[in-house]
Amino acid sequence: MRTLTLILLASTLPWTVQAGSNDGPIKEEGAELLKPFKKQLMGALKQGLQQSPAEAVDICHVQAPGIPENVAPEGVELGRTSHKLRNPDNAPTDWQRELVQHYRQHEDRSPKSRTLDNGRVAYAEPIEVKPLCVTCHGPREQIPDAVRAKLDKQYPQDEATGFRVGDFRGIFWATWPAGDNPS
C-alpha cells in the first residue's frame, strides 16, 4: 500500500520534471563514490553484530568515523548526517541541512545533486530505517539494556533513537570539485 502511494505521488509531483535537468552524471558519480563507504560501514556493523549488538556499538564507534578518509579518492569528501545525531561530529553543513529538511517534509526518496558556491558539486541520498537498525536507533524502551548502556557511555548527547522501520534517518553525502570525475 505504502509503495503504491509513493509511486502515485512520484508520478504527480513536480520534481519528476527535473529528470531532464542534466545532473545524471553527478548522481551516477556520487552513487559510485558512496559504494565503498556503505559497504565498509555495513561490514563493520555485521562483524560487530555477530558478537553482540552491544559489541557492534563499540565497533561502529571506533571504525565508522575513519571510513570516509580510507575510501574517498583525493579531493572527495564523504559522510553521513541527520536531523537526529548520535555522533555530533556528523552535524550537517548548510546545504546538507536544507536537504535533510526536504526529505523530512516530503515523501520524496530520490537522490539529489547540488552545485555549491565553493566550486564543488554535491550528491546526497536519503537513508531509510530498516528492521536491522532499530536495535540501536529504535524507541529507547525497545533498545536492549546492554546496548543502551554502551550508547549512554559513548554518546552522552545521543539523539538518534525513537526511529521506526521506514522512517527517514538521514543522508549519505559526497562532494568533489566541479568538473572532476574522481572515481
Run of H or E residues at 121: strand 120-128
Q: Minimum Å distance from CB 63 to ligand HEC?
A: 9
Beta carbons within 8 Å of 141's beta carbon, 6+ residues apart: none
Print the binding letters for residues 11-50 with ligand HEC: x by CB under 6 A, - otherwise.
----------------------------------x--x--
Calpha distance 171→99 (Å, rounded): 8
Run of H or E residues at 153: helix 145-154
Contact 121, 113 (CB under 8 A): yes
Print the binding letters for residues 143-182 with ligand HEC: x by CB under 6 A, - otherwise.
-----------------x--------xx------------
Q: Minimum Å distance from CB 71 to ligand HEC?
A: 15
Across the beta sheet with 120-128, the strand order is 77-81, 168-177, 120-128, 112-115
| 60 binding ligand HEC? (CB under 6 A) | yes
Calpha distance 21→44 (Å, rounded): 37
Q: Minimum Å distance from CB 102 to ligand HEC?
A: 16
Q: Which residues bind ligand HEC (CB under 6 A)?
A: 45, 48, 53, 56-57, 60-61, 64-65, 80, 82, 85-87, 90, 127, 129-130, 132-133, 135-137, 160, 169-170
